[in-house]
Amino acid sequence: MPDQRRLSYFVASSLDGFIAGPDGGDPSSWWPITEDYLDFIRSEFPETLPGPARQALGISDPGHRFDTVVEGRRSFELGLAAGIPDAYPHLRHLVFSRTLGSAADSDVEVVSGDPVERIRQLKSEPGKGIWLVGGGSLAASLRPEIDELIIKLGPVTLGSGIPLWGHDAGFDTQTWTRTEATAYPGGMTLLRYARSGDSV
Ligand SMILES: NC(=O)c1ccc[n+]([C@@H]2O[C@H](COP(=O)([O-])OP(=O)(O)OC[C@H]3O[C@@H](n4cnc5c(N)ncnc54)[C@H](OP(=O)(O)O)[C@@H]3O)[C@@H](O)[C@H]2O)c1
């Protein structure tokens, strides 16, 4: 029997645990993009680059980890504001929102129902991994379903901003098993954790 699909929260974080500044803007404004970081994304996670970036960098590699991407409405709207209705045309793309109605790009599925239920449905279908982009608020809603954290820890502190689990996450201790910690010359540390399944 094939392995069940897993939900991975693959996200860029500052050293002080923020995934975005207080203005909720795009992390590219503070994330240090170094040559070795680009090489890492190109070789390990090419499917996580937005379509226009893939085009600009000449990347057609479909990647091998994810075939589906899920994000919260506020993260999705950053793409819309930049004139990109579907930032990930090479992936199945779902956006969670109770207010959006429908997306401008019909290839993007807007889900107004319970994210946990929808993720469980996706996991029961065959396919590659499911990438949770963020943001923090959607990640908090999906905490019980996240099988893996892949944190790109940048050599930068922000002081304030949107935390890994958003602003309103409740206190709920979860333990994780570290499966990788790789330091890159440009300053990023890639941290990878599997859910241990224990609540303490
Ligand atoms: N560092 C990174 O790698 C990274 C990655 C992605 C995003 N980000 C950053 O994250 C920030 C946005 O994060 P955020 O926490 O403010 O917002 P978000 O999680 O992107 O979006 C929040 C919205 O998602 C919908 N949502 C969340 N939980 C839901 C639920 N249980 N049921 C239905 N809909 C639900 C709601 O939309 P409605 O209000 O429409 O119902 C909610 O307002 C942006 O600044 C972005 O740059 C960073």
CATH code for the domain of 35: 3.40.430.10
pTM: 0.96
Predicted confidence band at 4 (pLDDT cuts at 50, 70, 90)?
A: confident
Identify whether 197 is part of a domain: no
User: What average pLDDT does range 177-198 have in this prediction?
Assistant: 93
Cis peptide before 186 (omega within 30 of 0): no
User: Residues 61-118: pLDDT tens digits?
Assistant: 999 999 999 999 999 999 999 999 999 999 999 999 999 987 676 799 999 999 999 9
CA of 2 to the centre of ligand 1 (A): 31
**Looking at ligand 1, which atom is closest to the CA of residue 141?**
31
- Please enumerate, as own/partner, the contacts of 180-185 that have beta carbons within 8 Å and a separation of 24 or more: 184/34, 184/36, 184/37, 184/40, 185/34, 185/36
Does the pLDDT of residue 165 top 80, yes or no?
A: yes
The CB density around residue 112, as the number of other CB atoms within 10 Å, is: 14
User: Residues 171-187: pLDDT tens digits?
Assistant: 999 999 999 999 999 99
Cβ-based neighbours of 122, under 8 Å, separated by 6 or more: 5, 68, 94, 130
CA distance linking residue 80 with residue 193, whole number of Å: 31
pLDDT at 102: 77
Residue 72, CA distances (Å) to 59, 78, 96, 99, 178 in order: 26, 11, 5, 11, 26
SS3 181: strand
- Domains in the chain, number: 1
User: What average pLDDT does range 145-168 have in this prediction?
Assistant: 97
CA distance linking residue 133 with residue 9, whole number of Å: 6
Identify whether 195 is part of a domain: no
pLDDT at 13: 98
Q: Which two tokens stand for residue 126?
A: 């065959």
Identify whether 131 is part of a domain: no
**Looking at ligand 1, which atom is closest to the CA of residue 98?**
41
Per DSSP, 100 falls in state -
Identify whether 130 is part of a domain: no
CA distance linking residue 53 with residue 139, whole number of Å: 24
Q: What percent of the chain has a predicted confidence (pLDDT) above 90?
A: 90
User: Residues 12-70: pLDDT tens digits?
Assistant: 999 999 999 999 988 989 999 999 999 999 999 999 999 999 999 999 999 999 999 99
Identify whether 3 is part of a domain: no
pLDDT at 101: 86
The β-bridge relationship of strands 189-195 and 148-153 is: antiparallel
CA of 185 to the centre of ligand 1 (A): 31
- Check pocket membership of 150 for ligand 1, CB cut-off 6 A: no
User: Which residue, by CA, sits nearest to atom 14 of ligand 1?
Assistant: 135
Domain span including residue 179: 18-125+137-189
CA of 135 to the centre of ligand 1 (A): 4
